[in-house]
């Protein structure tokens, strides 16, 4: 078991039912944090929670649809009623959407994608800002993609959502720089074995890309130390 460097701290991870989110929740719990797990599917969250408990950690599940702003508001009220401060917020939940030309983007799907990938993160930041400010050294981490800064053909919708997320978080980081101990970071996991990547690259051999646990350890290591706001961590492919 990793040293409990995060003992007594509270973390919230979105999209924590599988992939990088689940692995990150386990890594933070292994370092002593109590982790709140959010995603839509309660059964999958329970499996992650069980794994954390079996490893000697602690967690609480909070099933919800992040595309519903009212659900996020209710979650914030519930959590703030039990804990005073939030020390770590990991914004991981996202959807890929359909890859294709910008001219063929479906408006309804694009709206769902932007709602989950961008608007829900803004809502999480807004509703949990009071708890983050009460932490002596809160860290807010958002997962991104290389297509958020390097446009790629047929990835316009997803890339636009990640570009928007990055600017959103970086703006928040600058706003908080001289007002609180909140520090923000962008993490680009690069090629990682997730369901989203399998959907984007159906012919790829999964054994040729790294496991989510590699990304999770990097995130846990990052938030366990000190970094200046708007830090950017890009993992190797």
List residues with catalytic annotation: 158
Cβ–Cβ < 8 Å for 151, 165: no
CA distances to 44, 54, 121, 185, 216 from 189, rounded to whole Å, are 22, 27, 18, 13, 9
Cβ–Cβ < 8 Å for 37, 66: no
Q: How remote is the C-alpha of 177 from its chain's centroid?
A: 21
Residue 192 DSSP symbol: B
């Amino acid at each position: 078991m990793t040293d409990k460097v995060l003992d007594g701290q509270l973390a919230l991870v979105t999209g924590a039912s599988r992939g990088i989110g689940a692995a990150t929740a386990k890594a933070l719990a292994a370092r002593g944090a109590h982790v709140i797990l959010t995603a839509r599917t309660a059964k999958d969250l329970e499996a992650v929670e069980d794994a954390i408990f079996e490893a000697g950690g602690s967690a609480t599940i909070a099933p919800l649809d992040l595309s519903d702003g009212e659900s996020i508001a209710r979650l914030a009220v519930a959590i703030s009623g039990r804990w005073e401060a939030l020390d770590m917020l990991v914004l991981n939940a996202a959807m890929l959407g359909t890859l294709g030309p910008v001219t063929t983007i479906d408006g309804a799907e694009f709206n769902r994608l932007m709602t989950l990938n961008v608007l829900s993160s803004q809502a999480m930041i807004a509703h949990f800002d009071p708890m983050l400010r009460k932490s002596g050294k809160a860290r807010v981490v958002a997962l991104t993609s290389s297509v958020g800064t390097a446009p790629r053909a047929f990835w316009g919708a997803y890339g636009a959502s990640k570009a928007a997320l990055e600017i959103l978080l970086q703006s928040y980081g600058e706003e908080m720089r001289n007002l609180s101990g909140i520090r923000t970071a962008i993490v680009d996991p690069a090629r990682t074995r997730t369901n989203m990547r399998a959907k984007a690259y159906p012919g790829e051999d999964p054994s040729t890309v790294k496991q989510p646990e590699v990304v999770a350890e990097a995130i846990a290591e990052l938030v366990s130390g000190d970094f200046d706001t708007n830090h950017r961590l890009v993992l190797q492919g």
